Chains A and B, each alone.
Chain A
Amino acid sequence: MTSSTPEALWSARAARLLRPSAVRCRGLTRTVGRRRLLDGLHLWVPVGARLLLVSSPAESAPLLLRILAGLARRDGGTLQIAGLSQPGPHGWGPRVAFLGRPDGVPRWMTPREALQFSADVTGLDASERQRRCDELLERFGLQTLADRPIGRLSALLAERVGLAAALVSHPEVLLLDEPLSGHGPLERELLLQPLTPRVTTLIASRIPAAQRNVCDQVAFISDGRLALHAGIAELEAEGVPLTREGVEEFAGRRRRPTATRATRP
């Protein structure tokens, strides 16, 4: 079962008990230079989760997102995203959206062009394309600036264009590296609200507290291995500050999970 499973089946109690995964990593390894940033990482993310990724060293979490997006290679381990085991256009590629830093959106494009291009290459139905672009332009407050080159917009609006372009194709899994970092927390929460409850979001952030109102789970990757995967509510109940140091210290207090499934918050 994946997040594209029909709603009628999702509604069944038996289906909910199956707790399907959107992202499943087993034994993921990757060395960059002389640093082993991922060292046998096991991670299981249920469908609909909004997972905050924090890591020490800080490069591990963004690297994991890039591997999931197919932009970085892995040295070992297996991956399964949205029920599929292969990346690329014939695998999980069309179901995953990635927004990195820098976002890479051509600055000569207008917001409308960027969204229409993304819709076009990701195979969105032609009849749906225009409607979807208009919907996102309005949602992100870009409708009056839709035909101005992104390079002539403010940095904040350019960030919104990147996120809108990532959302245009109705992705099942959203991979975000420090999204909307120039925005305030309330704006960020509003703009990152999932459009459907079954979109799984993974956000890598060096300032975990900035994503507090967006995420409901946190995973801490320490020296390439999963040291903690818990609900944010659990951390708050324990009085753990949502900082990298706080999460790291809390992970040290708990026994490290070994390929366990995340508990629902």
Chain B
Amino acid sequence: MTVGIALKELWISFRLLAVLVLFAAAGVLAATAPLLPAIGLSPEGGAAALYARALAVAAAGAAALGGTAFAGERRRGGLGWLAARSIPRSLLLLGWFAALAGLALVGMLPSAMLTWLAMTGEPAFGLRGVSPVVFGVALLAAMADAVAWIAAGLLVGIFLTARLAGAVILLLLAAILLLGTLVPSLATYLPGAGIALLAEASSGSPGLEAGLRAGGVGLLITALLLAVGIVTLRRRDL
């Protein structure tokens, strides 16, 4: 019920379309990778790296859109209206999370397929021996990162106004990515490790173990953020 309401609110405010377009665009961009050498460009890491970078932007955008929408609903009284009807606050947060995470996953699947097709079209694809299983595991880890970022966005939306929430979310995620770049040993434990593994998929280097670990970290962080969000929302005035 709360998922339906969240989806409707996102649809009415055009955010639903924006989230889907962001993720779809990531795949379309990756699909252009085999064509770029013809115009003098050669993206490092090929289609997979291009997809990973675009995916990071898309996930950050989805988190910011989700956080601002949630903050706006809190401000407008929509969450209060539902809570006054004895709908548990935990369900309100989980409903919004499920709606946004569902959209992200629906957007990622076709874009990932486009990326895989683009990868198979690259000249060195056969030499690198890229396994679809490894790519699939890296993709799952990237999905876990995306939903972790969405959970972070909703958590920020509990605290801040809609105007501030979007900017703070983007800054926060940029800081996480920067930290992972500056301290590589920490990168494995940050939400973003899966996306980084996806960037290396064209080279065939990420192993299954790394992918599974990154996916596990992403899901664990998601669960922790949601738990903190539920506890926080219960104490906030609506």
Does A73 contact B80, Cβ atoms closer than 8 Å? no
Residues of A with C-beta under 8 A to B87: 89, 121
Residue-wise, chain A 113-150 has the 8 Å CB interface mask toward B (1 for contact) of 00000100110000000000000000000000000000
Q: Which residues of B contact A105 (CB under 8 A)?
A: 81
What CA separation (Å) do A213 and B209 show in the bound complex? 73
Q: Which residues of A contact B77 (CB under 8 A)?
A: 100-104
Which chain A residues (227-245) contact chain B, with CB distance < 8 Å?
A: none
Interface string of A48-79 (1 = CB under 8 A from B): 00000000000000000010011111000000
- B86: contacting residue among A66, A73, A88, A108, CB under 8 A: A88
> B80 contacts which of A104, A118, A121 (Cβ < 8 Å)?
A104
Assembled-state Cα–Cα distance A58/B9 (Å): 32
Question: Do A121 and B83 touch (CB < 8 A)?
Answer: no
Q: In the docked arrangement, what's the CA distance between A66 and B81, Å?
A: 11
The number of residues on chain B lying at the interface, defined by a beta carbon within 8 Å of a beta carbon of chain A, is 21
Interface membership of A220, Cβ < 8 A:
no
Structural contact, B85 and A71, CB atoms closer than 8 A: no
Chain B residues touching A, majority SS = helix
The residues of B that contact A104 with a CB separation of less than 8 Å are: 76-82, 84
Contact pick for B83, options A70, A97, A101, CB 8 Å: A70
The secondary-structure label for the interface of chain A is: loop
Q: Is there contact, CB below 8 Å, between A71 and B83?
A: yes
- How far is A118 from B81 in the complex, measured between Cα atoms in Å? 10
Docked CA distance A134–B39 (Å): 66
Pair count A-B, CB < 8 A? 59
Contact A106 B86 (CB under 8 A): no
* Residue of chain B at shortest CB distance from A102: B77
Any chain B CB within 8 A of the CB of A194? no
Task: Indicate whether B1 reaches chain A with its CB closer than 8 angstroms.
Answer: yes
* Contact for A72 among B1, B5, B85, B237, CB less than 8 A: B237
Task: Name the A residues within 8 Å of B79 (CB-CB).
Answer: 104
Max chain A CB contacts within 10 Å: which of B5, B12, B85? B85
Which chain B positions have C-beta within 8 A of A106? 5, 8-9, 78, 81
Any chain B CB within 8 A of the CB of A93? yes
Q: Which residues of A lie under 8 Å from residue B81 when comparing CB positions?
A: 100, 103-106
Is there an interface contact between A71 and B86, defined as CB atoms closer than 8 Å? Answer: no
For A102, list chain B residues within 8 Å (CB).
Answer: 76-77
Task: List A contacts of B102 (CB < 8 A).
Answer: none
How far, in Å, is B115 (CB) from chain A's closest CB?
35
- Asked if residues B86 and A122 are in contact (CB atoms below 8 Å), the reply is yes
Instruction: A71-B238, A104-B80 are known; give 18 further A-B pairs, CB within 8 A.
Output: A70-B83, A71-B80, A89-B86, A89-B87, A93-B86, A94-B86, A100-B77, A101-B77, A102-B76, A103-B77, A103-B81, A105-B81, A106-B5, A106-B9, A106-B81, A107-B12, A108-B12, A122-B86
Can you pick out 22 interface pairs between chain A and chain B where the beta carbons lie within 8 Å of each other?
Answer: A66-B237, A66-B238, A70-B84, A71-B83, A71-B237, A71-B238, A73-B237, A88-B88, A89-B86, A98-B84, A102-B77, A104-B78, A104-B79, A104-B82, A106-B8, A106-B9, A106-B78, A107-B12, A108-B8, A108-B12, A121-B82, A122-B86
Q: Which residues of A contact B (CB under 8 A)?
A: 66, 69-73, 88-89, 93-94, 97-98, 100-108, 118, 121-122
Q: 5 tightest A-B contacts by CB?
A: A104-B77, A104-B81, A93-B86, A89-B86, A72-B237
